[in-house]
Amino acid sequence: MSETCPTRLDYDTEKYWRGSSEQQLIIARCNECEHWIHPPRSCCPACWSDNIGHQQASGRATLYSFTIQPGKPSQPPLIMGWAELEEQERLIIVGPLLNASPDTVRIGTKLQLQWFQYKNTFVPAFNQEPEA
Amino acid sequence: MSNHKNKKVAIVGIGSSVLARDSKRSVGALALDAVKNAIHDSGVPRDKIDGLSAIYSTDQPTVWPGYVAESLGMSNITWSNCATPPSANTVAEGVAAVTAGLCDYAVCYHSKYRWDTVSGSARNDPYRKAAPSSFDPGMSHPLVEAFGAPNAMFAAMQRHMYEFGTTRKHLGMIVVNNRNWALSNEQAIFKDKPLSMEQYLEAQQVVSPLSALDMDMPIDGAMAVVITSAERAKDLPNRPVIVDAVANGIAGKTDFFFQAFDTFQSYQVVLDKLWQTTGYTINDMNFVNIYDGFSSLALEWIEAAFCNRGEGPGLLEDSWNPQTNKLMFNGRIPMSTHGGNIGEGRVQGFGHVLEAVRQLRGNAENRQIDNAKLGLVTNGNNPVNTGLILRRSD
């Protein structure tokens, strides 16, 4: 079985992180009312159903917000994005913006899902789409 | 109107440890200093104390009630609890216990420390190694391992600026107000260090859009209050300060990476409950002690208390006096006359409670507000927060 980040999983988060290790964005979704749930939970906050499934999300997103973390002296700053998935309002994945710089990062920009290798596994990351 | 109209609880004693960057005392010793000082101030004999209310800590060992009871030789404790942060929540919990009759005289305390997890300069000090914490097991930790700890509070402020045109200058009004009030507070960590708007705007941003000046100052410090019923308070030496209402508010998502985007919503839950419980409005307040762990949190508390989301920047501009370098809301309501966490030091909001008691007793010295009768105290972020309305007894 492939390695995951983190190595510590629980019954709610396992499918998300296993999907991530295989470069698939697997998001919890209520089987009753189809509400997407992230971070994953054992119960649907909308309808209280315990019948929670998982589906692959499109990966299309809009930049909701970001932080610019100072890097080490010789390295550029790390830009972390809060990516709002097109599937649902405020359904947000956090990951680095690989092609953004402090000058080009812009809230509201369309994002494409990428995968960032971390140790022997992967976590979600995003690229800003060039403006039309 | 008021709930428990006939069962009001009063704050009858306040106490603080020294507040210092390096107190040369343990975190437990600071808690004992504050608890003892509060009991002395209250005039309640030690043997009558039967309640201890603490705060569990998210970044450090908790100074739990057992430690305090043992260390101070208390053998009559019939109720104790460790509540969620921030500081004012230990008061809220104690009020609930006294109201319910679980204890008669409770000490509510909290002790903060400049651990190596909150202060870069503490990392080589063997007396400042924080115990490992386990906070939220959700989604945050794996990303913390890979990318450090990108704090959503910064991202939430970016979003506020994007949606409402908020600028660094608006945050500067909050920071400079607090730093200027701190100049009048003997205990404040920034007692002798004035800050101008120009200096604020020139400060380097740590993580945009916030600079170190926007964050509370890590210190060693503990504070405590003694509470009892308003009836029993009449027999004690200090003018009682009545707790008219307490409230918490939780809203939306609470995982560390997402909670900050629902902060305003959670604050609105707190304020709605306070107004509903008491029948007061913000215009009944003589002062507001607004939590300022980050200046951006203060901005959102101000919006929830005075206006609507997004209207904070305009309100700040209307309330800012560039001559005094202070805020005066609605022309007459000052904010955080002790200097807040940003000016006095980081006791996670407890200074806001103690200052409210001083103002309402009428002994806030050179910063006393004329005829202060009612004050609003807010603490915390989403999902750990507390609001209090405190009233001078007549």
Question: A46-80, pLDDT tens digit by residue?
Answer: 999 999 999 999 999 999 999 998 877 888 888 99
With CA atoms as reference, report the closest residue to B293 among B351, B346, B354. B346
Indicate which of B208, B211, B261 best probes the interface with A, i.e. most A CBs within 10 Å of its own CB: B208
Q: What is the pLDDT of residue B3?
A: 47
Q: Determine how many CB atoms are found less than 10 A away from the CB of residue B321.
A: 11
Question: Amino acid identity, residue B290?
Answer: I
**Total domains in the fold of chain A:** 1
Given a cut of 60, whether residue B141 has pLDDT beyond it is: no
Which of residues 22 through 41 in chain A touch B, CB cutoff 8 A?
Answer: 38-40
The answer, yes or no, to whether residue B335 has pLDDT greater than 90, is: yes
User: Does residue B164 have a pLDDT over 50?
Assistant: yes
Q: How far apart are CA B191 and CA B180, in angstroms?
A: 9
**Residue B155 and residue A82: Cβ atoms within 8 Å?**
yes
B244 domain residue, yes or no? no
Residue A6 domain-assigned?
A: no
B141 against B98, higher pLDDT: B98
| Number of folded domains that form chain B | 1
E strands within chain B?
9-16, 51-55, 79-83, 106-112, 205-207, 210-211, 221-229, 241-247, 287-289, 320-321, 326-329, 333-334, 374-380, 385-392
Contact A94 B150 (CB under 8 A): yes
Residue A96 has pLDDT above 60, yes or no: yes
pLDDT at B113: 87
Range with lowest mean pLDDT among A75-84, B36-45, B131-140, B182-191 = B131-140
DSSP B222-257: EEEEEEEEHHHHTTSSSPPEEEEEEE----S--STT
Least confident residue range of A43-47, B114-118, B333-337, B357-361: B114-118
pLDDT > 60? residue B279: yes
Q: Which domain holds residue A115?
A: 14-128
Instruction: Identify whether B266 is part of a domain.
Output: no
Contact flag B146-A68 (C-beta cutoff 8 Å)? no
For the stretch B122-134, pLDDT in tens is: 888 888 887 665 4
Cβ distance of A5 and B255 shorter than 8 Å = no
- Has residue B215 got a pLDDT over 60? yes
pLDDT band for B116, please (50, 70, 90 cuts).
confident
With beta carbons under 8 A apart, name residues in chain A contacting B147: 69, 78, 80, 96
Helices (H) and strands (E) in chain A, counts: 1, 8
E strand or H helix that includes residue B19:
none
pLDDT in the model for residue B6: 62
Distance from the B177 Cα atom to the nearest Cα atom in chain A, whole angstroms: 26
pLDDT at A74: 87
Question: B142 and A6: CB-CB below 8 Å?
Answer: yes
Answer whether residue B302 is part of any domain.
no
- A9 within a domain of the structure (yes/no): no
Does B312 reside within a domain?
A: no
Q: What is the DSSP letter of B358?
A: H
Which range has the worst mean pLDDT, A120-124, B262-266, B272-276? A120-124
pLDDT digits (tens, 9 = 90+) for A11-55: 888 899 999 999 999 999 999 999 999 988 888 989 999 999 999
> What is the pLDDT, as a whole number, of residue B138?
54
Residue B192, pLDDT > 60, answer: yes
Q: Is the pLDDT of residue B118 over 60?
A: yes
Nearest to B227 by CA among B237, B240, B213, B208: B240
Task: Report the chain A residue with the minimal C-alpha distance to residue B148.
Answer: A69
Q: What's chain B's average pLDDT?
A: 92
Residue B32 forms part of a structural domain: yes
Domain that holds residue B46: 9-117+219-233
Residue A8 lies in a domain: no
Nearest to B25 by CA among B118, B130, B127: B127
> Between B255 and B301, where is the model more confident?
B301
Residue B327 neighbours by CB distance under 10 Å: 25
Residue B119 has pLDDT above 90, yes or no: no
Tell me how far CA of residue B117 lies from CA of B89, B143, B150, B154, in angstroms: 23, 18, 15, 18
CA distance B291 to B300: 10
Q: What is the pLDDT of residue B56?
A: 84
Put simply, the chain B residues between 137 and 166 with a CB less than 8 A from any chain A CB are: 137-139, 141-143, 145-148, 150-152, 154-156, 158-159, 162
- Residue B135 is predicted with a pLDDT of 45
Query: Taking CB atoms and an 8 Å limit, are B255 and A39 in contact across chains?
Result: yes
User: Quick one: average pLDDT of B297-325?
Assistant: 98
What is the CATH classification number for the domain harbouring B77? Answer: 3.40.47.10
* B109: amino acid identity, one letter: Y
CA distance B245 to B239: 18
* Confidence band of B2 (pLDDT split at 50, 70, 90): very low
pLDDT tens-place string over residues B66-102? 999 999 999 999 999 999 889 999 999 999 999 999 9
List the single best residue of A94, A103, A109 to mutate versus B (max B Cβ within 10 A).
A94
B151, A108: Cβ pair inside 8 Å? Answer: no
- pLDDT value for A4: 76
> In the structure, what pLDDT confidence band is assigned to residue B145 with cuts at 50, 70 and 90?
low
pLDDT at B60 over 70: no
Is position B99 within any domain? yes
